[in-house]
Amino acid sequence: MSLQNQNPQPRQQSQTQTPIAWRYAGDQVKRWRTKAGLSREELGLAAAYAPDTIKSMEQGVRMPTPKLLDAADDLFRAEGLLSAAKQYLRREKFPARAQDFMAHEREAISLWWYEVALIPGLLQTDACMRKLIGGFAPPLGQDVVEERVAARRERQEILTRKPTVACCFVLYESALRGPQVDREQLLHLLKTSEASNISLQVLPFKRAIPVAMDGPMVLLEAGDHAHSVYTEGPFTGELTSDPEQVSLAIERLGMIRMEALGTEASTRFLEQMVNEL
């Protein structure tokens, strides 16, 4: 999802820091290295990593790998104290900035999702996921790509879980015509939209209105019927429950849905796209 919003009222902000376990383990490696009087270059030679990679792991920007921890433990004679950190380290399923949103998504009893340029993550095929996740800059390792594909697939359980979650998606036509969208993806949209709890609408180019160009958004309703809205930009993501911001998002979504095709017309629109391929 490529989604941006902020307000001074009470809100939940997305996390911008890497996991604390990464930072703690990296700091411990740095402390032991400094105590031993060795440089990053020397640790890099022992662990087969470049000095800049060692630096990013020591700072917790990257997860300290088991290979680094074992090499550091041996080089600094830490007697297993550094290697022991391996059991506490893991890659996060989602980028740090999106973790608050994912937590709220898991607890939602209904959601309304408007997307401008991409197929929503909950509706993506595995092939579409790999194209999008694999296209990050800087590039992600293949193991990280597969982990995030699996995590995104796990998120899609919200569409079929019990009790049922009401899901409404509105897709601007450009989201359907992206290079990552193929026949399989369009057929998947059609199949998914057959579920009674899922509503799918298309906003064609010719029916676009100015507010539809302001970017994507997701409205979430929690079990206590509290509402929040999530928006995301290239470098930031934010979740807010500020009533004014939520109200503005609901009004905007209502305007977009009024211009979008109805569910039956949207199905015909997608079927025509499939036939054109």
Check residue 93 and give its pLDDT.
59
Same domain, 71 and 129: no
Q: What is the domain-level CATH number for residue 169? A: 3.30.870
Tokens of 123: 């509706």
Sheet holding 110-115, edge to edge: 11-13, 237-240, 227-232, 217-221, 110-115, 166-172, 198-203
Check residue 90 and give its pLDDT.
67
Same domain, 82 and 41: yes
Long-range contacts of residues 50-58, Cβ cutoff 8 Å, at least 24 apart:
57/26, 57/29, 58/26, 58/27, 58/29, 58/30, 58/33
Maximum separation of any 2 CA atoms in the chain, in Å: 70
- Answer whether residue 8 is part of any domain: no
- Answer whether residue 7 is part of any domain: no
Same domain, 36 and 101: no
Boundary-marking domain end, from 59, 88, 117: 88
Q: Tell me the C-alpha distance between 236 and 13, whole Å.
A: 10
Q: What is the pLDDT along the chain (277 residues), one digit of tens a residue?
A: 543 333 333 333 333 456 788 889 999 999 999 999 999 999 999 999 999 999 989 998 888 989 999 999 999 999 999 999 988 886 555 555 566 787 789 889 999 999 999 999 999 999 999 999 998 777 878 888 898 899 899 999 999 999 999 999 999 999 999 999 999 999 999 999 999 999 999 999 999 999 999 899 999 999 889 999 998 776 677 888 999 999 999 999 999 999 999 999 999 999 999 999 8
Domain containing residue 56: 20-88
Please name the residue that has the structure tokens 């709220």. Answer: 104
Q: Tell me the C-alpha distance between 76 and 61, whole Å.
A: 22
Using left for φ > 0, alpha for ψ between -120 and 50, and beta otherwise, residue 77 falls in: left
* Domains in the chain, number: 2
Using left for φ > 0, alpha for ψ between -120 and 50, and beta otherwise, residue 193 falls in: alpha
Total-model pTM: 0.68
Q: How buried is 36 (Cβ within 10 angstroms: 0-12 exposed, 13-18 middle, 19+ buried)? A: middle
Same domain, 150 and 186: yes
